[in-house]
Structure 1
Amino acid sequence: MKSVISLYIGFFILVGFASLDYRTLEVEIKENSTISIKGTSNVHSFECSYEEEIELFNNNIELLPNSNSFEIKKAKLHLTAKSFDCGGRRINRDFKDILQAEKFPHIDIKVNSITPHQTQYLADVEVHIAGHTKNYQLQVENPNKTHFTGDLIVDITDFGLESPKKMMGLIKVDQLIDINFDLYLNIKS
């Protein structure tokens, strides 16, 4: 998911500099970028960090003007579901079970369009988890020209996933998770 989020952030940065004509940009996600998934249960909260290098599926992104927004082509993060570390062997196993990582080893996030909105951007994204795809609108903050941050709240049941129950139902993970990204980009036109 980090890669997808990184792509989205890269596109947002590009929109800030793009004129109203077609452009192809080369986008690279810097090493200090992070993606994490946060969740809660009725007992405690957890955070799982993406441990691989965050990369775009294709580093050449196409921007096409479309009234007050930009249509995005070839902007996709392709994340390995097993590469999230939640801080312990048991919770890592449970998290991978929730994502059905054996059957669906990748999480894809694709940016379809971005729209400037006051001091932020709104991105229309497509998230693909466990064989299901869902569209979301994501608000992205841009503290400077190459740094993008945001949170995407998703309901795991939208992807056909179930919240696990442990200890005969005494511990239950909430259905809503927060995909958090903090991306630093290198953009060349």
Structure 2
Amino acid sequence: MHILILWISLIFSPGFQERNQLIITKQKVLVQGYTSLGKFNCDFEILGKVDTLNFNSRGTQKIMEFQIPVKNFSCGNFLITSDFRSTLKADEYPYAKVVVKNFREKSGKIFCHLSVNLVGKRLEFPDLMLEKVPDGLSGKLILNFQMLELTPPNKFGGLVSVEDQLDLEVVLGI
């Protein structure tokens, strides 16, 4: 009888049950690009906005939506930051919009539908896999300037050029 009670208490304890919820306290977007001189990193982070994600919930699914002021991206160097903002046409398209929805867990992996609206182009990623990282969830994808109908910038008559590939990472942190 004691074994049965112990077994039931273990099954219904919070540590044993599958965790279908995550409290998000920050959203971060990281962009990594490559030039003929090396790589550059630009990022934007929203802190203090608390949200709860439910996985595999029945009924209405949670939608996380955030707008990123393109002029708030920081690349660690004012020249690179200025070129980055100029390339993304910050004056014409002052905001990038990111929508993350349809969170679901399959075979221990978390997937979502990611939509990115940047420079007037909407890109859809319906089955983006999110990796569990120590401080939350991370989704990575590769974009290129062609997808956004942009031309990679170059400087000094082509001596310094930016490669077509951009690595984008969306982090939903706890």
TM-score by length of 2: 0.73
Alpha-carbon distance in structure 2 between the residues aligned to 1:104 and 1:46: 22
Alpha-carbon distance in structure 2 between the residues aligned to 1:150 and 1:60: 17
Confirm or deny that 1:140 pairs with 2:130.
yes
Confirm or deny that 1:170 pairs with 2:159.
yes
Give the % identical residues.
21
Q: What is the identity, as a one-letter code, of the residue corresponding to 1:111?
A: V
Which string of whole-angstrom CA distances, capped at 9 and with x for unpartnered residues, describes residues 14-68 of structure 1? x9516xxxxxx9x6524xx643211101221000121x53476x957787857xx
SS of 2:84 mapped into structure 1: helix
* Higher-RCO chain (CA-CA 8 Å, sequence separation at least 6): 1
TM-score by length of 1: 0.68
Structure 1 counterpart of 2:40: 46
Confirm or deny that 1:82 pairs with 2:71.
yes
Query: How far off is 1:159 after superposition?
Result: 1.8
- Once the two structures are overlaid, the 10-residue window that deviates more, 130-139 or 95-104, is 130-139
Which string of whole-angstrom CA distances, capped at 9 and with x for unpartnered residues, describes residues 74-112 of structure 1? 321211111111111111110001111111011111123
Structure number with bigger Rg = 2
Structure 2 counterpart of 1:29: 25
Structure 2 counterpart of 1:124: 113
Contact 1:35 1:182 in 2 (8 A): yes
Alpha-carbon distance in structure 1 between the residues aligned to 2:105 and 2:119: 31
Query: How far off is 1:129 after superposition?
Result: 0.1
Q: What count of residue pairs does the alignment treat as equivalent?
A: 156
Superposition CA RMSD, Å = 3.0
